[in-house]
Amino acid sequence: MEGISILNGKYAVSMDMYPLQDKNYNMVYKFYDNLKEGRFTTTKCTDCGARSFPPRIICPECLSENMEWVDLPSEGTVLVVAEQEAGVPLGFQAPLIHAHVDLGGELTYLGRVQNCKAGELKEGDKVKLVVIPIEPVPADGKKGAVIQHERVFFAFEKVK
């Protein structure tokens, strides 16, 4: 027997390293819909013009609810790299390469760089956003049915 029998086949939000993306669970699901089409996007306030990241439903500058979706640069420059061998969370591979990335001067982000060996990534290198499939969420449907909510997420890769 493996694991705790009561949990077999069960999904627990509290153990999910990724966000719930379906529109049943959040109001910025369009980010993930856009991501599925290869677009890296966020929200911008149509009243005051403030561009936020992460995406919002309310502008943190003027509290307007009038938001539009805009594209962000999907290529960037590495500012600094950290290579993690120890304590890598379950579900991520060691070495876990973290990079502080400058996305076209518009945004900096602490992102994960995949398919990258230790010592391979340096300050000044170019990285690009890649969309990755992740495990779907099995949600309770009617009459015992299980609905699979498909998901994607993103990471970065070195431009070679």
The residues binding other proteins (CB under 8 A) are: 14-15, 17-19, 53-54, 80-92, 96, 98, 100, 107-112, 153, 155
Q: At its nearest, how many Å lie between other proteins and the CB of residue 114?
A: 10
Nearer to other proteins, 118 or 146 (CB): 118
Measured distance CA(128)–CA(76) in Å, rounded: 6
Nearer to other proteins, 14 or 142 (CB): 14
User: What does the CA dihedral 36, 38, 42, 43 come to, rounded to 10 degrees?
Assistant: -70
Q: At its nearest, how many Å lie between other proteins and the CB of residue 144?
A: 27
Q: At its nearest, how many Å lie between other proteins and the CB of residue 82?
A: 4
Nearer to other proteins, 139 or 153 (CB): 153
Q: At its nearest, how many Å lie between other proteins and the CB of residue 159?
A: 18
Q: At its nearest, how many Å lie between other proteins and the CB of residue 4?
A: 12
Nearer to other proteins, 15 or 146 (CB): 15
**E strand intervals along the chain:** 41-45, 51-52, 67-71, 75-84, 96-103, 107-113, 126-140, 146-158
Residue pointed to by tokens 């990755």? 132
Classify 154 as helix, strand or coil: strand
Q: Residue 57 burial by CB count (10 A; 0-12/13-18/19+): exposed, middle or buried?
A: exposed
Residues present in the chain in total: 160
Nearer to other proteins, 79 or 146 (CB): 79
The partner residues of 58 in beta bridges, in order of sequence, read: none
